[in-house]
């Protein structure tokens, strides 16, 4: 009772704090400075530009010396080139490009902005990520390329992003995750690829991802998985493969660090005794809404950390009698 009330109170306080922050931001937003289609806010820390057509021009003379964040939006037919960011501005840490139809970004475009930490290129039409587009961004931590209709990711597109921790490529249109496409992302922790049209995971598509913890491939069109692709990601702890059409799993899952495996809403047919038994750290596995007809009785016998097993809504031919090493997990069937 007390706890519930206290948490309600703290929620009210945090909402109030948020609206105060919003007010302060709004007040600080008016620096009275209007450039053609660009305006500063937050004491010139943020520069926002709209409806610009800078095909052969640059933004280097517009930007303020205190500017930390650049927002470009609603500008059609924009081609970002290396010269666009000239002269170099070194304070900039955040770059947003959004709602720009027919956006193009040339190779080496961001080389003049070595201190960028966050780039969001989202909600545009931006179909091709060219080789070396982000080269030189050795401090970049987060790259979001969501919702752009990307259908082509050239070899070496992510070359040089040695500090990148999070890469988001959701809601795009590419069909294949190509071999070596993430090869230079040694520091990557999270890779979000959900809502694409991915059909094929090429061998070695995860090559180089030696620090990857989270891989999300939900809502794609994958029909076949070779478990060997995950060997390149030895510290993977969360694997999301739900809402695909996976019918065939070639090989057994062997990721020793894996804790969460989500395979619901696929077309798996049976579960052998070796498919999951090497996943010695598995805590949670969801196999619901597949077409599983049978489980080997010892399919989970070596999984001493298993807490949750869900196999609801399958095509089981007979009652399931599973054996477990220690206490049985919570089963949803």
Residues engaged in binding ligand NAG (CB under 6 A):
76-77, 99, 102, 123, 147, 171, 269-270, 272-274, 277, 293, 298, 301-302
Which lies closer to ligand NAG via its Cβ, residue 103 or residue 185?
103
Instruction: Transcribe 97-134 into DSSP letters.
Output: EES-TT-EE-TTTTTT-TT--EEEEESS---EE-TTTT
Dist CA 130 CA 277 (whole Å): 41
Which lies closer to ligand NAG via its Cβ, residue 103 or residue 206?
103
**How near is the Cβ of 251 to ligand NAG at its closest, in Å?**
10
**How near is the Cβ of 68 to ligand NAG at its closest, in Å?**
25
Q: Map residue 262 onto helix, strand or coil.
A: strand
The span from the first CA to the last CA of the chain, in angstroms, equals 34
**How near is the Cβ of 126 to ligand NAG at its closest, in Å?**
10
Q: Map residue 27 onto helix, strand or coil.
A: helix
Which lies closer to ligand NAG via its Cβ, residue 10 or residue 149?
149
Which lies closer to ligand NAG via its Cβ, residue 77 or residue 152?
77
**How near is the Cβ of 123 to ligand NAG at its closest, in Å?**
4
**How near is the Cβ of 195 to ligand NAG at its closest, in Å?**
7
What 41-49 contacts at long range (C-beta under 8 Å, 24+ apart), as own/partner pairs, is: 45/69, 46/70, 46/71, 47/71, 48/72, 48/73, 49/73, 49/75
* Dihedral sign of CA atoms 78, 82, 88, 90 in order: positive
């Amino acid at each position: 009772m007390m706890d519930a009330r206290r948490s309600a109170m703290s929620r009210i306080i945090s909402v109030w704090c948020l609206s105060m922050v919003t007010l302060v931001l709004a007040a600080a937003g008016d620096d009275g400075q209007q450039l053609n289609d660009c305006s500063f806010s937050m004491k010139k820390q943020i520069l926002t530009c709209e409806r610009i057509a800078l095909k052969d021009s640059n933004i280097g003379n517009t930007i303020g010396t205190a500017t930390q964040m650049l927002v470009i939006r609603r500008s059609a037919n924009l081609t970002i080139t290396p010269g666009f960011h000239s002269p170099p501005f070194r304070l900039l840490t955040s770059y947003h490009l959004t709602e720009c139809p027919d956006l193009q970004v040339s190779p080496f475009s961001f080389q003049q902005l070595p201190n960028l930490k966050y780039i969001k290129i989202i909600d545009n039409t931006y179909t091709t990520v060219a080789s070396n587009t982000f080269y030189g961004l050795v401090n970049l931590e987060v790259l979001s390329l969501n919702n752009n209709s990307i259908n082509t990711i050239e070899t070496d597109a992510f070359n040089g992003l040695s500090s990148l921790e999070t890469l988001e490529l959701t809601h795009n249109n590419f069909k294949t995750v190509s071999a070596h496409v993430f090869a230079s992302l040694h520091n990557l922790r999270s890779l979000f690829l959900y809502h694409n049209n991915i059909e094929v995971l090429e061998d070695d598509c995860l090559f180089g991802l030696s620090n990857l913890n989270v891989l999300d491939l939900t809502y794609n069109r994958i029909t076949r998985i070779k478990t060997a692709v995950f060997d390149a990601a030895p510290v993977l702890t969360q694997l999301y493969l739900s809402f695909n059409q996976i019918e065939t799993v070639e090989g057994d899952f062997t990721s020793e660090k894996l804790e969460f495996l989500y395979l619901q809403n696929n077309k798996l047919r049976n579960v052998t005794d070796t498919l999951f038994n090497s996943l010695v750290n598995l805590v949670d596995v969801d196999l619901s809404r597949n077409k599983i007809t049978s489980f080997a009785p010892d399919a989970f016998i070596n999984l001493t950390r298993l807490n949750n097993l869900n196999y609801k809504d399958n095509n089981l031919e007979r009652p399931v009698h599973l054996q477990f090493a220690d206490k049985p997990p919570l089963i949803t069937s």
